[in-house]
Amino acid sequence: MLRRVVPVFLLGTAAVLTLAGCGAHDSTGQLSVTVSSNAADHAYEVKVITATTGKVSEHQRVFPGGTANFAGVPLGGVTVKANELCPQKTTVKNGTVAAVTLTTTGC
């Protein structure tokens, strides 16, 4: 009887902890990207590329002088690119908002 009780108890405990969120960790952060107001007067497709995978994790259209806010960006190094604007690198950390400005100069 004791052999059955222990696994059932462990399974029940694991289910309660999972449902309660104990030990849950969100491995994403936030990023704010501003397109310089001196950029050409058209929308730019801003892409956030994670350093570890090299894949686009987020994208959004932004006009010059505008800002795009991204949530759910994987933590760690990212490169932010948009058409003919200079790419920028930053690090996304938990609990803070990383911010970059894309410009036409300084590449």
Q: What is the pLDDT of residue 5?
A: 46
**pLDDT number for residue 107:** 85
pLDDT recorded at residue 3? 55
Reference 45, options 65, 71, 72, 63; nearest CA is: 63
User: pTM for the whole thing?
Assistant: 0.73
Tens digits of pLDDT across the chain (107 residues) = 545 544 555 455 555 444 445 555 568 999 999 999 998 989 999 999 999 999 999 999 999 999 999 999 999 999 999 989 999 999 999 999 999 999 998 88
Confidence at residue 106, expressed as pLDDT on a 0 to 100 scale: 82
Q: Long-range contacts of range 100-104, CB-CB < 8 Å, 24 or more positions apart?
A: 100/31, 100/32, 100/33, 100/34, 101/33, 101/34, 101/35, 101/36, 102/33, 102/34, 102/35, 102/36, 102/39, 102/44, 102/46, 103/36, 103/38, 103/39, 104/36, 104/38, 104/39, 104/40
Q: Please state, in angstroms and rounded to a whole number, the distance separating the CA atoms of residues 22 and 33.
A: 33
